[in-house]
Amino acid sequence: MTETEFRLNGRVVRGQMADYATLAAYLRDNLGHFEVKAGCGEGVCGACTVLLDGEPLASCLLLARQAEGCTVETVAAAADGLRQALAEAFVRWEAAQCGYCTPGMLLTAYAYVKGGGSFDSPSIRRALAGNLCRCTGYQHIIDAIAEVVSTWPAEG
């Protein structure tokens, strides 16, 4: 166990972390952040996606101690305009069925739109290639993201 500190959703988290705890396990088991979904453990499904210093990463393939000094955001981070717009578009397009993949989808979409991603379907599909939806509701997810991209002001 080693004292480790990082920022989580705008707050400082400091605690004793087991060397072998993945960030996903630490966020869920120690901090109760169950919006970070436990999926495949192999980095394939995208359910455990978090933003590490703004970049979507699989929190199951990162050790909690590797987040030392970093900024970690889950889907529960305070909503800015873009997060809100994406969440509303997902609701409007009924882009969530069982909802298990939704936090990962939203965070991946957030980074995609913020990074200046294009609204064409092939680009969105490629960006979402690492997020699996086992309800296979992909089309509505892509439609929701495309709508936000086409209406969201590009960052300068």
Binding residues for another protein, rule: CB under 8 A, are: 2, 18-20, 22, 24-25, 38, 41-44, 46, 49, 55-58, 60-63, 65-66, 108, 125-127, 129-130
Q: Which of 115, 151 has the CB closer to another protein?
A: 115
CB 111 within 8 A of CB 77: no
Q: How far is the CB of 125 from another protein (least distance, A)?
A: 7
CB 123 within 8 A of CB 105: no
Q: Which of 131, 148 has the CB closer to another protein?
A: 131
Q: How far is the CB of 8 from another protein (least distance, A)?
A: 19
Cα 40 to Cα 45, 94, 98, 105, 128, distances in angstroms: 6, 25, 17, 15, 16
**7 class by beta-carbon count within 10 Å (0-12 exposed, 13-18 middle, 19+ buried):** middle
Give the three-class secondary structure for 3.
strand
Q: How far is the CB of 131 from another protein (least distance, A)?
A: 8
Q: Which of 78, 100 has the CB closer to another protein?
A: 100
